[in-house]
Copies of this chain bind each other. A is one copy, B any other.
């Protein structure tokens, strides 16, 4: 019997209309959907996809418990458990679609699970999604970089983000808890700073100066700091 394929799909950052034609087709054509959450109702990626593809509610859902733990052992175990649940279906010849926020290649749990599943001999495939930082730039109507500018992306867990020197545009992702420190650091750098909170969602908010940005903010916050002289 042929084995199934694990298909990681990016559903984009929030607006269901930012899903790709391919993501929609892949969800329609397959039956089993793995979601990174305890239940469909509590999973953001699922609720985004459901708005664009109502047929999703008739699919078989595999809820995967994937805590955002700092403990590496606990993380590894949750990934192994998720891979095992997925492989049980792949072994029976069924494809499994894994829904993920944003893009599956950018700070996504899917990458870890893809690696485990791939090492166990299964085929995997990835469908790109719109990243939160591209959507944040679009919402604010600004560019992330022009032809001679570099773009540097830092996740909240990247400890040295505050010490980074050089380059042009800096993007700080999921930076809610560190907002105050990042603001202080940027104040010295003469950067043009934009912050987008809950991009593409109903409670989206755009801040266009350091002074306006609150010292604390939610998980879905993206800071874009651009060179003043280059910005357009």
Q: Are A111 and B143 in contact (CB under 8 A)?
A: yes
Q: Does A161 belong to the interface (CB within 8 Å)?
A: yes
Q: Is the interface of A mostly helix, strand, loop or mixed?
A: mixed
Q: Given the complex of chains A and B, what is the CA–CA distance between A155 and B161 in angstroms?
A: 21
Interface string of A95-126 (1 = CB under 8 A from B): 00000000111111001101100100000111
Q: Does A130 belong to the interface (CB within 8 Å)?
A: yes
Q: Are B166 and A164 in contact (CB under 8 A)?
A: yes
Q: Does A221 belong to the interface (CB within 8 Å)?
A: no
Q: Are B149 and A155 in contact (CB under 8 A)?
A: yes
Q: Does A19 belong to the interface (CB within 8 Å)?
A: yes
Q: Does A148 belong to the interface (CB within 8 Å)?
A: yes
Supplied contacts A103-B134, A115-B232, A128-B138, 12 more A-B pairs, CB within 8 Å:
A12-B128, A17-B25, A106-B143, A108-B143, A118-B141, A124-B141, A127-B138, A128-B135, A130-B130, A150-B154, A151-B152, A164-B167
